[in-house]
Amino acid sequence: MKIRVLVLCCALTALCGLGVAQKTDVATVQVPHTSATSGKEMYLAYCATCHGKEGKGDGPTASALKVPPADLTTLSKRNHGEFPSARVINLLNGSNAVAAHGSQEMPVWGPIFLAMDHQHASTVRLRIANLADYIKSLQQKQTPGALH
């Protein structure tokens, strides 16, 4: 299962890099290594293919997926104005099972990062925390009184 997820992740990353939005054939490529300290770099390399550069769920491979990618910019709005940091971290590392996460369409990043970082769990935690922080920075700005 881990290999299938890694292969799909690689394929989606390759499709984004090639700018192929409508093509459903996927190629197997190696997951690019990014800095563990840059949430933005990781997001653009690993998440933007599905979720889009701005996190709205409109990435170049989104239309090829059975389950549409979530609009990550509305996580706080959908959680009464609070960014669900723990939930996002648990989804990324695989602690919480969600239909889209861990399936062939949404890889769980924890095991992928663990393999990428030569089994260094502390680096994986850093990656996931920085990626979650970047996703938090994508949240739509709320106007006072807009939360009900």
- The answer as to whether 26 is a domain residue is yes
* pTM, full prediction: 0.74
Tell me if 13 is assigned to some domain.
yes
- Residue 143 included in any domain: no
According to the model, what pLDDT value does residue 12 have?
A: 47
Q: Which two tokens stand for residue 80?
A: 């009464």
Give residue 39's Cα distance to chain centre. Answer: 11
For the stretch 43-94, pLDDT in tens is 999 999 999 999 999 999 999 888 899 999 999 999 999 999 999 999 898 8
**3-class SS at 93?**
helix
Angle at 58 between CA 56 and CA 63, to 5 degrees: 145
Per the listing, tokens 């890099």 go with 17
Residue 147 domain-assigned (yes or no): no
Residues sharing a CB contact under 8 Å with residue 84, sequence separation 6 or more, in sequence order:
75, 76
Range of the domain at 90: 2-137
Residue 144 located in a structural domain: no
Domain membership flag for residue 148: no
Residues 72 and 51 sit within 8 Å (Cβ to Cβ): yes
7 pLDDT higher than 80 = no
CA 32 vs. chain centroid, Å, equals 14
Total structural domains within the chain: 1
CATH of residue 18's domain is 1.10.760
Residue 70 lies in a domain: yes
